Amino acid sequence: MIFKLFTRKRLALMSLCFVSSASLASIGITAEVYQDIDRHRVINTKIFYPTTKTKSEELYADNPAFYGFNAVKNAPPTGSELPVYILVHGTSGNWKNLSWLGSRLAEEGALVISANHPDYTTGQATPDSVMRMWEQPRDVSFLIDKLLASTYVQYIDKKNITVVGYSLGGYTALSLAGAKFDISGYQNYCLQNKDDSCDYYKGVFKNLTQEDRVMISGDYRDKRVSKSIAISPGYVPAILSDSLDDLSANTIVVGAEFDEVIPPEKQLNPYLAEKHKNLFYVEISGASHFSFMQKCKPQATAILAEEGAEFVCQEASNINRKSIHNELISTSLYFQ
């Protein structure tokens, strides 16, 4: 079903489903560097999890513009049957962007994986590299392989793996659930519409080879993923609608009311209007594209203005970012 209505009572009930005996635990964090030799990719990864160790906390993902979180480096995990959440960043993003979410999930009893994806991450992403997007879902499947072969496996519920992807990462969440894409659909969309995402890719389509187009159209489904959450996902106009009839994960697409990068009324609603099994859509009122990133410090706008990026911390409504984060959690992460 698509465009499912969520009542406040239902949201309150769903929010109770996740909280476990590990609720409000301290957070442990470990850095892992995984090398995928076959694809020549080195994936720098952070893993957050609940721990009983509280000494030697350090501040992570904090900088002059964004708030971070406290965690204990290399602390031993605690608990069993922990749900797994894999957080996937967007274009030019990094593992820190959804760290507000990862830290909260770890406090409530989840094991969380968040990585920097080569060619898509901060300092590496270009319009050409991002358009060749197929390596990101393959990265996630590789990370699942590594998780299930690691000592972490003794703590997790292998049947409860959720992918949460933002922007480009939203495309990845959809791909892992079984959505397939034909980039010509997105190309046609950009011929008829002008928005920030099409401006970003101006001139890139002509550089795509036939091999690139075949890779974009590939099947990157991973049946180990039980739930996919796609936040302001990229490339939705390229989705092959028939592929949405056979999603292997419960999938929710989250739009942002005032998103100018991926406008819901243009890039999401028209392509998700049909009913599909296992697919739901919600829209966060008052949110813009960057509302789902870390909470900004008071001086953030002035700092980012020096790089011409003040828009990252400017909300499009009078609703603050913390409220938007809470709404995202209520409508999506506790979705059953």
Query: How does pLDDT run across 147-165, given as a tens digit for each residue?
Result: 999 999 999 999 999 999 9
Q: Count of alpha carbons within 13 Å of 233, Cβ hemisphere only?
A: 33
**Cβ neighbours of 309 (radius 10 Å):** 15
pLDDT beyond 80 at 55: yes
Q: Is 322 exposed, middle or buried (0-12, 13-18, 19+ CB in 10 A)?
A: exposed
Label residue 332 by pLDDT band (50, 70, 90). Answer: confident
| Res 273: pLDDT | 85
Label residue 9 by pLDDT band (50, 70, 90). Answer: very low
- Nearest alpha-carbon partner for 197 in 267, 276, 118, 270: 267
pLDDT beyond 60 at 101: yes
**Token pair belonging to 303:** 């700092």
**pTM for the full model?**
0.93
Mean predicted confidence (pLDDT) in 108-118: 97
Decide the pairing of beta strands 111-116 and 82-88: parallel
| Res 225: pLDDT | 98
What is the distance between the alpha carbons of residues 194 and 186, in angstroms, rounded to a whole number? 12
Q: Do residues 138 and 175 lie in contact, with contact meaning Cβ atoms separated by under 8 Å?
A: no
Phi and psi based region of residue 253 (left: phi greater than 0; alpha: psi -120 to 50; beta: remaining): beta
| Res 16: pLDDT | 32
Phi and psi based region of residue 40 (left: phi greater than 0; alpha: psi -120 to 50; beta: remaining): left
pLDDT beyond 60 at 296: yes
Q: Which residue, chain included where needed, has tokens 């608990």? A: 79
Mean predicted confidence (pLDDT) in 5-17: 35
pLDDT beyond 70 at 43: yes
What is the distance between the alpha carbons of residues 160 and 140, in angstroms, rounded to a whole number? 15
What is the distance between the alpha carbons of residues 86 and 47, in angstroms, rounded to a whole number? 9
What is the distance between the alpha carbons of residues 89 and 87, in angstroms, rounded to a whole number? 7
* Backbone torsions φ then ψ of 162, nearest 5 degrees: -115, 135
| Res 336: pLDDT | 52
**In terms of pLDDT, which residue wins out, 6 or 302?**
302
| Res 335: pLDDT | 60
Burial 14-33 (b: 16+ CB within 10 A, else e): beeebeeebeebbbbbbebe
Least confident of 10-14, 54-58, 96-100: 10-14
pLDDT beyond 60 at 1: no
119-140 residue pLDDT tens:
999 999 999 999 999 999 999 9
Arithmetic mean of pLDDT over the chain: 92
pLDDT beyond 90 at 184: yes
Label residue 2 by pLDDT band (50, 70, 90). Answer: very low
pLDDT beyond 50 at 10: no
Mean predicted confidence (pLDDT) in 25-39: 96
pLDDT beyond 70 at 326: yes
pLDDT beyond 70 at 19: no
Written as one string, the DSSP assignment of 154-202 is GGEEEEEEEEEEETHHHHHHHHHHT--B-HHHHHHHHHH---HHHHHTT
Label residue 287 by pLDDT band (50, 70, 90). Answer: very high
| Res 226: pLDDT | 97
Mean predicted confidence (pLDDT) in 285-304: 97
Indicate the length of the chain as a whole number. 336
**In terms of pLDDT, which residue wins out, 252 or 274?**
252
Least confident of 10-14, 18-22, 109-113, 273-277: 10-14
- Sequence-distant (≥ 6) Cβ neighbours of residue 166 within 8 angstroms: 87, 88, 89, 90, 93, 97, 98, 231, 232, 292, 293
Decide the pairing of beta strands 26-36 and 57-60: unpaired
Mean predicted confidence (pLDDT) in 157-181: 98
